Amino acid sequence: MRLLRLTAGLLLLSAGGIACTQGADGTPVPVVHASNAAVTPLLPTNVLALPSFDPGTFQELLGQLRGTPVVVNVWASWCKPCEDETPLLVKAAKTYAGRVQFLGIDIQDARTSARTFQQRYRVPYPSVYDPTSAVQHSLGFYGQPETVFYDAGGRAVDTVPLPLDEETLKTGLDKALGG
What secondary structure does DSSP assign to the chain, as a single string? -HHHHHHHHHHHHHHHHHHT-B-TTS-B-PPB-TT--B----S-SSTT---B--HHHHHHHHHHTTTS-EEEEEE-TT-HHHHHHHHHHHHHHHHTTTT-EEEEEEES--HHHHHHHHHHHT--S-EEEETTSHHHHHTT--SSSEEEEE-TTS-EEEEE-S---HHHHHHHHHHHTT-
Supply the pLDDT for residue 40.
81
Per-residue pLDDT of the chain (179 residues; tens, 9 = 90+): 443 343 334 333 333 333 333 333 333 333 333 334 555 899 999 999 999 999 999 999 999 999 999 999 999 999 999 999 999 999 999 999 999 999 999 999 999 999 999 999 999 999 999 999 999 999 999 999 999 999 999 999 999 999 999 999 999 999 999 97
Domain with CATH 3.40.30.10 in the chain: 42-176
pLDDT at 37: 53
Residues 19-32 as b/e (b if ≥16 CB within 10 A, e otherwise) read eeeeeeeebbeeee
Query: How high is the pLDDT of residue 4?
Result: 39
CATH architecture of 42-176: 3-Layer(aba) Sandwich (3.40)
**Rounded to an integer, what distance in angstroms lies between the CA atom of residue 141 and that of residue 130?**
13
- Residue 156 pairs with which residues in a beta bridge? 150
Identify the CA nearest to 47 among candidates 124, 122, 137. Answer: 124
Residues 6 or more apart whose CB falls under 8 angstroms from that of 141 comprise 74, 161
Do the bridges between strand 127-130 and strand 101-107 make them parallel or antiparallel, or are there none, so unpaired?
A: parallel
